[in-house]
Amino acid sequence: MALVGMVGLGAMGSGLLYRLRLADVDVVGYDIAPGARQAAQEAGARIAESPVDVARAATTIDVVVRTDEETLECTLGPDGLIKAAEPGALVILHGTILPQTTKRIAEAGQARKLDVIDACMLGIPDVVRRGEMRFVVGGTDEQFERARPHLLRMGREVVHMGPLGAGNVAKLVHNLLQGSQTLVLHEAVQLGQAGGIPYPQMLEWLHDMHTGGSLLDRWQRTFDPSGADPTPNIGHNTIGKDVPLAAEFARQAGVDLPIIEQLGAAGLRLDEAARAGAH
């Protein structure tokens, strides 16, 4: 089996390395942190001196760094792997980055006849190590099929979301929903406290009230499943009346809750548009 390269051997990269070693895949890796390199070596990886050295040794290269800047540095920087990879190599960008960053790297890769795709990871390090990682992938059908066997050695599901960058967008939407729920809940419990309800009591009550599942379990009732229009069917109470009312209560209570304030304004706009469309 061909040698696999990996740039980024931190929490997520070490998890992917663990899965590859379980599958008896040999890995050559690099990380900027000496501790990460040492741990990877102890886990059975060969350690390279730079991303360039990784690219010279492997024809499939996983890039598992955190930010757009780090991804650009290790691919297109002075020691970047793109300039050293052999024509025909497959470069897989796993970080949560902008699709424009992926396209920029892919354009540079195309000039060297490299396949560059995005395969973002849905999960945390423990999920990776258990082999339960999900990958959302952007690229051509041929690139997806080429990468799929390799990705399935590290995770249990690989979903082709669309063209290059679609995996990045899917991951951003996924994390936006998770992050925004936490941010909204943070403000919501403050609203409850302004009304005299301790936040642990409010959170426990909300948990008990929502055992019926997520809105996404029944999204076809709220959004048009035909794909013709993403505007939600909001009814006449919750979005257009009650969300703005919650924002009004926050103002009256003197609690600064900017997300709820913006949600109230958005609810009014949707309600006005729905009423205008009904006439």
pLDDT digits over 5-38, tens only? Answer: 999 999 999 999 999 999 999 999 999 999 999 9
Window from 66-70, 227-231, 233-237, 275-279 with minimum mean pLDDT: 275-279
Q: What is the pLDDT of residue 211?
A: 62
Average pLDDT over residues 48-69: 97
Binning pLDDT at 50, 70 and 90, where does residue 60 land? very high
> Is residue 234's pLDDT more than 80?
no
Q: Are 71 and 101 in contact (CB under 8 A)?
A: yes
Cα gap 145→137, rounded to integer Å: 10
**pLDDT over 90 (residue 117):** yes
237, pLDDT greater than 60 = yes
3-state secondary structure of 61: strand
Contacts of 258 (CB under 8 A, 6+ apart): 187
Q: Which residues of 23-51 are buried (b: 16+ CB within 10 A; e: fewer)?
A: eebebbbbbbeeebbebbeeeebbbbebb
Ranges of H-type helices in 60-165 = 68-76, 99-111, 125-129, 141-152
Beta bridge partners of 61: 5, 91
Q: What is the mean pLDDT of the chain?
A: 93
pLDDT given for residue 29 in this prediction: 98
Q: Does domain 4-170 have CATH number 3.40.1500.10?
A: no
How many helices (H) does the chain have, and how many strands (E)?
A: 12, 8
User: What is the SS3 assignment for 30?
Assistant: strand
